[in-house]
């Protein structure tokens, strides 16, 4: 699904990050720093990105390298699903974002729904855990990402946009806007949210 150079670059970055977390020999430190620099060069050169920016992002990563975790919510009210229009690209997506430190997955998704829509939600089930690298389309991502998708029940609240969202709405399955923010939400994700909403007994999906 992803270009091989990106897979290699991410692995090199992870090796360098983990190595720098435990290294003691100063010469080994230099070698890991060089590996990290090469990973940044690969992404900048092939991805057409700013090298200094990639180097700064990589330098900020510390400790044992693991995938990053994102969360998305399928919030249902009267058989319709909640979508928010992203301020960054003007397209629609399921509410969600990065999981926060010191918050459980449940707390993270409840927070994201409230921040992006003004609505309160109760988490009903974990519907899916997807490896973002295996899902089209494959935008350039310097880190490996797992995404958790939850089916949620609308509890109340008032619609409220945020710095991240410009519009909020509930949509039936046949009313889904065509202009989805595909880096965040694909038609497949919405299809699976409706499937798990209609059949709560479905097992959690995972890659």
Tell me the percentage of the chain whose pLDDT exceeds 90.
92
pLDDT score recorded for residue 89: 95
pLDDT at 137: 61
- Distance separating alpha carbons of residues 54 and 41, to the nearest angstrom: 8
What is the reported pLDDT for 133? 85
Q: Where are the domains of the chain?
A: 4-59, 68-206
Closest of 144, 100, 114 to residue 11, by C-alpha: 144
Instruction: Choose among 87, 92, 67: nearest CA to 171.
Output: 92
CATH superfamily to which 68-206 belongs: Nucleoside Triphosphate Pyrophosphohydrolase (3.90.79.10)
Report the chain's mean pLDDT, rounded to a whole number: 95
What is d(CA 158, CA 3) in angstroms, rounded to the nearest whole number? 43
Is the CB of residue 106 less than 8 Å from the CB of residue 126?
A: no
Sign of CA dihedral 159, 161, 186, 109: negative
Asked which of 67-76, 83-92, 130-139, 164-173 is least confident by mean pLDDT, the reply is: 130-139
pLDDT at 140: 79
Which residues touch 173 (CB under 8 Å, ≥6 apart)?
Answer: 81, 190, 191, 194
pTM of the shown model: 0.84
> Using CA atoms, how far apart are residues 35 and 57, in angstroms rounded to an integer?
15
The 10s digit of each residue's pLDDT in 57-99 is 999 999 999 999 999 999 999 999 999 999 999 999 999 999 9
């Amino acid at each position: 699904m992803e270009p091989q150079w990106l897979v290699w670059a991410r692995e090199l970055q992870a090796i360098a990050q983990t190595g720098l977390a435990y290294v003691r020999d100063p010469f080994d430190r230099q070698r890991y720093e060089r590996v990290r620099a090469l990973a940044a060069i690969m992404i900048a050169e092939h991805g057409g990105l700013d090298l200094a920016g990639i180097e700064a992002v990589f330098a900020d990563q510390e400790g044992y390298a693991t995938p990053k975790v994102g969360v998305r919510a399928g919030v249902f009210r009267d058989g319709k699903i909640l979508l928010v229009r992203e301020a960054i690209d003007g397209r629609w997506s399921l509410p969600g974002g990065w999981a926060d430190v010191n918050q459980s997955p449940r707390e993270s998704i409840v927070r994201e729904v409230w921040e992006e829509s003004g609505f309160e939600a109760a988490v009903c089930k974990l519907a899916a855990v997807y490896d973002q690298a295996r899902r089209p389309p494959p935008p350039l991502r310097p880190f490996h990402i797992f995404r958790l998708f939850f089916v949620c029940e609308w509890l109340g609240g008032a619609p409220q946009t945020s710095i991240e969202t410009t519009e909020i709405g509930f949509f039936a399955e046949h009313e889904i806007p065509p202009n989805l923010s595909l880096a965040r939400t694909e038609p497949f994700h919405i299809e699976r949210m409706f499937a798990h909403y209609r059949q709560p007994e479905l097992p959690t999906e995972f890659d």
